[in-house]
Amino acid sequence: MGEFTSTIEHRLDQAYRNLQEARSSGDDYLADTFTAEIEDLQRLATDNGVPLQR
């Protein structure tokens, strides 16, 4: 696994954790922000041929 792939996976894991925390605390704006970050990271992974587990 390359460094790029590791970085994408790490950032996605963190974004999913942050999204869960935002949802748990009822912060809709922050949840939307993390949802957008996840979508951007998934798009970046797809565009660069990085297979995702989620």
SS3 17: helix
Identify the pLDDT of residue 1.
65
Identify the pLDDT of residue 54.
62
pLDDT digit of tens for each residue in the chain (54 aa)? 699 999 999 999 999 999 999 999 999 999 999 999 999 999 999 999 998 876
SS3 48: coil
Model-level pTM?
A: 0.89
Q: At a CB cut-off of 8 Å and minimum separation 6, what does 37 contact?
A: 11, 15
